[in-house]
Amino acid sequence: MGPANTRSVLARSMLASSQQRVENRLGDRGSSVFSIGEHATIDILLGSCAERFHLPVNGAIGLYSYDGTLLKGSSRVRSLVKPNETIYLQRKEDCDDFLFGCDWLRWGLLCFMIAIAGIITTSCLFAPLKHTHPFEMGVVIDAGSSHSEAVIFRWHHPKINGTGKALEEGRVKSHKGGISSLTPEEVYAEYRDMLNRTKMLIANYTDERAVLYMSATGGMRLLRMQNPDRASAIMESVREAMKESGFIFEMAEISAGADEGAQAWVSINHIEDRLSSYQPTFGSLDLGGASTQITVEVDRKEEATRSLKLYGKEHFVFSKSYLCFGLDQAYLRYVITLLIENSAFDNHNYTVESPCHCDGFTAQKNLSQILGPCVHSDRLPPHIEDEEDKIIVINGKWNATRCRVVTDDIFDAGTCGRHEYKYCFDEVNITLPMKMDYIAFSGFSSQRMKLGSEVVTD
């Protein structure tokens, strides 16, 4: 989550995924676009469709190609369907399943003999082995400031030089916002539901239990500073739901900014196959809701914030986290700046013109939604909490020059320090590698997609 540099590659967050359009021909008709991993199977996509369209997965529905062919569940989506093709969710016909069109007695005898041979062969192969499956599975919950998402990974064993080469097999999103905005009771219910849906997807691969991790990011770091008791109660609810899920609970924690940056750096270089092939790595620019990170590999251990041993090689990684400079929190600081410059608190006039919004734009926010650690400064009135119930009205009044001045001040470390903001966009204390490609993702790509712009390189 951080600023772009030389040859920055904007919006490559969908590195491991592509878009697939599915038209629903059942019940309330409609269509939806799904983000799927490179190795996602038809079964995983079918499960996501059932969840999106509120349908039961009971063997009676299937996904079909444009020519009416039933797509088989164990096949990879991208091996059967091109990214620009639409596929169709509909009820199966009797003749679509393989055995329905066959002579039952003949195929029954053949399948019986194959099954016996398979049992004998499998017993011989796997009896001496520790594992009953040639791969292991894990689930990592990314608890961001805007939502939580469980990402399912699979990796083959034995590991390569001590590191498993993970493949993403699916994602399950929470229905509500980030956990920092929920009560402990809501968090417990939300995580139970998300993990139950995750188990249904994993059942397509294995009947063994998967390991389970959770990492909370900038939103929870802010809450822990603002209200440590509430943050602790939320994390206890998370752990309780995880322990009751049936997965092998390993860890749930609020990550430090440097750890969050290092995790993102590992992810993008793993996806780009830079780690297992021992090629030069990419720098990581990760823009979230509450914070932004820049992470690069450096030559000297003294400059590193983390040392990581991957595929037998040690990597020295420098990561800088800017709390309060994620998309959501930076916007709140922008709004509070407009209020202060318009003397809103002195005049009790809470309607402001925004030079960074187009003419005709209007939005409302309760002041209590804006106040927090990221906006407190010496420019706020001493009893600002008494104004929390006020409604802020933001009207667009586009002025490119004025917009640039306001945003420059927000990111200027000197101006930030003079106004006694706790968190400023200060300079990185090392010389960043200039002959390095950087990959920018998360908020960078989501904003690119909203704007409809192309990938930018230089």
Query: Can you tell me the distance from the alpha carbon of 27 to that of 25, in angstroms, rounded to the nearest whole number?
Result: 7
Burial classification of residue 316, based on how many CB atoms lie within 10 Å of its CB (0-12 exposed, 13-18 middle, 19 or more buried) = middle
Q: What is the pLDDT of residue 117?
A: 47
Q: Is 79 annotated as a binding residue?
A: no
pLDDT in tens, 408-458: 999 999 999 888 898 899 888 888 887 889 999 888 877 777 666 554 444
Mean pLDDT, residues 49-78 taken together: 79
Q: Which residues are catalytic?
A: 260
Please tell me the total count of domains within the chain.
1
Do 37 and 169 form a contact (C-beta atoms < 8 A)? yes
206 vs 136 pLDDT, higher one: 136
Q: Which of 65-74, 121-130, 164-173 has the highest mean pLDDT?
A: 164-173
Mean pLDDT, residues 239-258 taken together: 93
Q: Is 292 annotated as a binding residue?
A: yes
358 lies in some domain: yes
* Ramachandran bin of 126, using left for φ above 0, alpha for ψ from -120 to 50, beta for the remaining angles: alpha
Residues above pLDDT 70, as percent of the chain: 84
Do 187 and 234 form a contact (C-beta atoms < 8 A)? yes
pLDDT in tens, 18-51: 788 888 888 666 778 877 777 778 877 887 787 7
Q: What is the pLDDT of residue 352?
A: 93
pLDDT in tens, 292-347: 999 999 998 999 999 999 989 999 999 999 999 999 999 999 999 999 998 988 88
386 lies in some domain: yes
399 lies in some domain: yes
Do 307 and 332 form a contact (C-beta atoms < 8 A)? no
Tokens at 427, concatenated: 């300079």
Do 425 and 349 form a contact (C-beta atoms < 8 A)? no
381 lies in some domain: yes
Q: What is the pLDDT of residue 85?
A: 85
Tokens at 34, concatenated: 């799904």
Q: What sections of 178-299 are H helices per DSSP?
A: 184-202, 218-226, 228-243, 257-271
Burial classification of residue 160, based on how many CB atoms lie within 10 Å of its CB (0-12 exposed, 13-18 middle, 19 or more buried) = middle
Q: Is 290 annotated as a binding residue?
A: yes
DSSP secondary structure, 117-175, as one string: HHHHHHHHHHTTSS-SSSEEEEEEEEE-SS-EEEEEEEEESS-BTTB---EEEEEEE-S
Nearest Cα neighbor of 257 from 229, 299, 295, 223 is 295
DSSP secondary structure, 26-48, as one string: SSS-EEEEEEEETT-BHHHHHHH
Nearest Cα neighbor of 234 from 179, 196, 192 is 179
Q: What is the pLDDT of residue 107?
A: 38
Q: State yes or no: pLDDT of 375 exceeds 60.
A: yes
Query: Can you tell me the distance from the alpha carbon of 25 to that of 403, in angstroms, rounded to the nearest whole number?
Result: 47
Q: What is the pLDDT of residue 108?
A: 46
Q: What is the pLDDT of residue 28?
A: 64
Query: Can you tell me the distance from the alpha carbon of 343 to that of 379, in angstroms, rounded to the nearest whole number?
Result: 10
9 vs 162 pLDDT, higher one: 162
pLDDT in tens, 127-170: 343 444 567 889 999 998 888 999 999 887 777 778 887 888 89
Could you give the C-alpha distances from 234 to 196, 254, 290, in angstroms and in order?
19, 11, 18
Q: State yes or no: pLDDT of 395 exceeds 90.
A: yes
Q: State yes or no: pLDDT of 124 exceeds 50.
A: no
Q: What is the pLDDT of residue 177?
A: 87
Q: What is the pLDDT of residue 24?
A: 86
Estimate the crossing angle of helix 400-411 against helix 327-341, to 10 degrees. 110
Nearest Cα neighbor of 296 from 435, 161, 164, 143 is 435
pLDDT in tens, 275-285: 988 999 999 99
Q: What is the mean pLDDT of the chain?
A: 82
Return the number of other C-beta atoms located less than 10 Å from residue 294's C-beta: 26
Query: Can you tell me the distance from the alpha carbon of 21 to that of 82, in angstroms, rounded to the nearest whole number?
Result: 11
Q: Which of 108-112, 389-393, 430-434 has the lowest mean pLDDT?
A: 108-112
Per DSSP, the three-state class of 74 is coil
Could you give the C-alpha distances from 44 to 38, 61, 65, 170, 172, in angstroms and in order?
12, 13, 16, 7, 11
Could you give the C-alpha distances from 154 to 149, 167, 278, 397, in angstroms and in order?
16, 5, 21, 50
58 lies in some domain: no
Burial per residue of 189-210, b for 16 or more beta-carbon CB atoms within 10 angstroms, e otherwise: bbbbebbebbbebbebbeeeeb
Query: Can you tell me the distance from the alpha carbon of 2 to that of 441, in angstroms, rounded to the nearest whole number?
Result: 9
255 lies in some domain: no
Q: What is the span of the domain harbouring residue 342?
A: 327-418
Query: Can you tell me the distance from the alpha carbon of 252 to that of 442, in angstroms, rounded to the nearest whole number?
Result: 22
263 vs 7 pLDDT, higher one: 263
Q: Is 178 annotated as a binding residue?
A: no
59 vs 257 pLDDT, higher one: 257
36 lies in some domain: no
Q: State yes or no: pLDDT of 116 exceeds 80.
A: no
397 lies in some domain: yes
Nearest Cα neighbor of 69 from 84, 54, 81 is 81
Tokens at 234, concatenated: 């939320």
Q: Is 289 annotated as a binding residue?
A: yes
Give the strand pairing for 391-396 and 351-354. parallel
